[in-house]
Amino acid sequence: MKRILITGGAGYLGSVLSETFLKAGWEVTALDNLSLGEQSLFHLASEPRFDFIFGDARDERLLKQVLKKADVIVPLAAIVGAPACDRDPLAAQSVNVEAIRLINRLRSKEQLTVFPTTNSGYGTRSGESFCTEDTLLEPISLYGRTKVEAEQELIGSQNAISLRLATVFGLSPRMRLDLLVNHFVYAAVTDGYIVIFEKDFKRNFVHIRDVADCFIHCINNAQTLAGRTFNVGLDSANLSKAELALKIKEQVPKFYVHFAEVGTDPDKRNYMVSNERLRKAGFEARRSIEDGIRELVKGYRMLGRGRFKNV
């Protein structure tokens, strides 16, 4: 039975990964400082193969203890997104880079690390050609730079796999509304309208449960995949913002979409991504954008009145 340690295990991806790993029959330990809330893992507490540790992913003494029991390490703890990193650059460097270096220094070469990073490291592109794992990394934001630095730290060592995730969508016990698909569908359901800038900028998307399934595949096939990076996205979902909005409008007909240059993306994300390397390695994302929109619409009906709203 594999024993998995997930730092940041209570977060958007971590809470889904914890559940997925348990269903695979593995033991899961989630470490988190619960800065974003404590309820996302409540439904797993009755599972005897699940354990939770309250703590910080930068705590060397704590990591030494918890790493002893792990066969696989999934370092999710991070300051995520360009705005969040710009708001606290010191924390971004400390959590996104130094905590990864700490894990890499403390782990043994027998311990597999599967690291989720972002494909925003591809930086400014034309949106007309596909980025592969061999495409030069040119991160624009502090967030992108820290994730690229962490990936280079791990891939330069033994027994590590890096997954360059497309923009993730889908429901999670620790929901994120700032991710593009999640945000657009939320606007459609709750506000009925959205104003979109850089409407022709393209990016790739992937469902959160496809990401979780990809982790399972990588861990099960680590002997052949270790030491490599993989783009993780949905081939049919290299879409512009305008194309995404119109797909949502098909399911939410009253959704009013207005295009206006009222802002810019701090990561300058405008690229299509090839997931061919991952497909040749035996894994392919299968949950469609349309299915994800349908799921999100259903989920947002459960939100009810917002905490600070009267209606």
Q: What is the tens place of the pLDDT at every residue in 122-131?
A: 765 555 678 8
Q: Which of 152, 33, 139, 126 is nearest to 85 (CA)?
A: 139
Is the pLDDT at 190 greater than 70, yes or no? yes
Beta bridge partners of 142: none
The superfamily (CATH) of domain 3-166+206-233+281-286 is NAD(P)-binding Rossmann-like Domain (3.40.50.720)
Q: What is the mean pLDDT of residues 144-156?
A: 94
**For a pLDDT cut of 70, what percent of the chain falls above it?**
95
Q: What is the tens place of the pLDDT at every residue in 103-141?
A: 999 999 999 999 999 887 776 555 567 889 998 888 888
Which pLDDT belongs to residue 128?
60
Which pLDDT belongs to residue 157?
92
CA distances from residue 17 to 23, 39, 179, 213, 250 in whole angstroms, order as listed? 10, 15, 18, 9, 30
Non-local (6+) Cβ contacts of 53 within 8 A are: 29, 30, 31, 32, 62, 66
> Hey, what amino acid is at 289?
I
What residue ranges do the domains of the chain occupy?
A: 3-166+206-233+281-286
d(CA 215, CA 292): 19
Strand (E) positions, 2-44? 3-7, 27-32
- Most confident by average pLDDT, 56-60, 120-124, 199-203: 56-60
Cβ proximity of 242 and 146 under 8 Å: no
Which pLDDT belongs to residue 214?
98
Q: What is the tens place of the pLDDT at every residue in 253-268?
A: 999 999 998 766 666 6
